[in-house]
Amino acid sequence: MIEANNIHKVYDQEAASLHVLKGVSLKISEGDFLAIVGPSGAGKSTLLHIIGGLDKPSRGNVIFDKQDLYQMTDRECAGIRNQKIGFVFQFYHLLSEFTALENVVMPALIKSDMAGKDMLFARGLTLLEKVGLKARSAHKPNQLSGGEQQRVAIARALINDPKVIFCDEPTGNLDSKSGQGIIELLVGLNKSNRQTLVIVTHDEHIAQISHSVVHIADGKFINPFA
């Protein structure tokens, strides 16, 4: 489903270039649950952003669902992200002026006309119920706990029924109990919906329960099939 080939990422800085990824290649099958682990600064998030269409590689290519992401126009790539990919980040990135339900349906409103607005909001409520937050649908982010905000972010990632969910340290800003709940929710989605799940994490427990894990250090994979 996803194939990254010889990915390099170099950031040009005033003093010297920073070579973050150094020829990384990766294949992810449909329905897989992959953990990407490694120390801070190893290139985990950069890799996730590149295979998710958020950041262009300096060299190499990414094939997503038989399409070369970085041979597309920015508009075409944005369409793939909106329709086929869901993102869950460490810091939630919810819009503070909107309710939980409005945050959830936002990606769907972007790609649809307003004629189906009522159906989208109904689907948003269903997703909030699925993550245990239907009763909090009218609350704004500052009225929710960290774990609740992350559940809203997961519901938002699911609104367009994506083929793959990319998670960047989804439990990194949560206490252990809330973090465990988030992981159980994501794993449940992978099992029940067969949605491909890719998680960047420091958490060895997540690596242990994943289908496969790659270890990255200094921009390269170490024991990629461990």
Which residues lie closer than 8 Å to 126 by C-beta, 6 or more apart? none
| The domain defined by 2-222 carries CATH number 3.40.50.300 | yes
Instruction: Answer whether 95's CB lies under 8 Å from 43's CB.
Output: no
pLDDT of residue 15: 74
Which residues lie closer than 8 Å to 9 by C-beta, 6 or more apart? 19, 20, 21, 43, 46, 50, 55, 57, 58, 219
Report CA dihedral (190, 85, 5, 66) to the nearest 10 degrees.
Answer: 100
pLDDT of residue 225: 44
DSSP run (H or E) holding 138: none
- pLDDT tens, N- to C-terminus, the chain (226 residues): 899 999 999 998 777 788 999 999 999 999 999 999 988 889 999 999 999 999 999 999 999 999 999 999 999 999 999 889 999 988 889 999 999 999 999 998 876 665 578 889 999 999 999 899 999 999 999 999 999 999 999 999 999 989 999 999 888 888 888 888 888 888 988 988 889 999 998 888 888 999 999 999 999 998 654 4
Predicted structure pTM score: 0.88
Alpha-carbon distance of 201 to 210, in angstroms, equals 11
Alpha-carbon distance of 208 to 200, in angstroms, equals 13
Partners of 85 in the β-ladder = 164
Query: Based on C-alpha coordinates, what's the Rg of the chain?
Result: 18
CA-based nearest residue to 147, from 216, 224, 88, 195: 88
Which residues lie closer than 8 Å to 7 by C-beta, 6 or more apart? 21, 23, 24, 25, 26, 47, 50, 51, 57, 59, 60, 62
